[in-house]
Amino acid sequence: MKYQAILDKAKKYRQLVKQVDDLALQNWEAAFEIEYTHESTAIEGNTLSLMETKVVLEDGISVGGKKLREIYEVVNHRKAYRFIKQRIAEGEKLDEATVKDIHAILMENIFAGGFYRNVNVRITGAAHTPPEPEEAYRQIKNFFADLDWKYQDDPITCAAWTHAEFVRIHPFVDGNGRTSRLIMNYQLMKNGLLPVSVPDVQRLEYFKYLEEYAVNNNIEPFADFVAAMEEKRLDDLLKNLKKV
C-alpha cells in the first residue's frame, strides 16, 4: 500500500501512547483542539487569532471588537469536533444523518443548519462551479452510497476523497469547508489515524489540490497532502512520547 509506512507509524503510536498518563494526553488533545479550531475557521475568513481562540474556548471570555458570528464559529467548531470524537468512540460510521448533525452544530446561533441548499452557489476564485441544487442533491446521495466502499482499503485516500468530493458538491449554503475537514478527520480517526489540521501557510496549496480533484477528478495530490500532514503529526507526537 502506498501509505503503508504512515500506517505503521500510526500503529506504533497507538501502542506507545497507552503508556502515557491521562493528563499529558489531555494536554496534547486540548492544544490540537484549539489549533485545529483556529485554523479551520481562519481558512473561511474568521479573524480570531490563535490566542483569541484559546481565550474564547478555554476561558469562556468574549473578545472585544470581534463579530458575534466569529465567536460562535469557534465555539461551534469545538462542539462539532467533540461530537465526531464521541460518535467514533461509540463505533458509529459516518453517514448522512451524522453529517447533517455536524453541520447543524457548526451553524448553531448563526442559521439553521443541516439542510441542503436550494440555491446556486459559487466559490470565489475557483475554476470549479458546484452543481445546481437538484443535481447537488443527486450527487450528495451518491456520495453517501459510495462512502461504504470507496477506497476502503486505503484509509488516507478514503479520508482525502471524503473531503474533496463533499466540498466539490458543496451541498450546504455555507459551512461546507469546515464540515468537509471534520468528516475527513472522522474517516482518519475511525481508522486509527490522527486528526489533522491544515496550516494557514499551506492554505493556497490546499485549495490547489482540492481544485485539481474538482476539475480533473485527480485525488492523488490531495491524498499525498493529507498523508504528509498525518505523518508530521505522528512524527511530532512520537517525539513527545520519547520525552515522556
170 is catalytic: yes
Task: Compute the distance between CA of residue 90 and CA of residue 107 in angstroms, rounded to an integer.
Answer: 24
> DSSP assignment, residue 93?
P
**Of the candidates 112, 132, 135, 107, which has an alpha carbon nearest to the alpha carbon of residue 122?**
132
Task: Compute the distance between CA of residue 102 and CA of residue 175 in angstroms, rounded to an integer.
Answer: 10
38, 103, 163, 170: which one is catalytic?
170
Task: Compute the distance between CA of residue 208 and CA of residue 210 in angstroms, rounded to an integer.
Answer: 6
If phi over 0 gives left and psi between -120 and 50 gives alpha, with beta otherwise, what is residue 93? beta
**Of the candidates 158, 220, 161, 207, which has an alpha carbon nearest to the alpha carbon of residue 7?**
158
Q: What DSSP line would sit under 153-171, residue for residue?
A: T-HHHHHHHHHHHHHHH--
Distance between alpha carbon 156 and the CA centroid of its chain, in Å?
13
* Cβ-based neighbours of 159, under 8 Å, separated by 6 or more: 184, 185, 187, 188, 191, 193, 226
Catalytic residues: 170
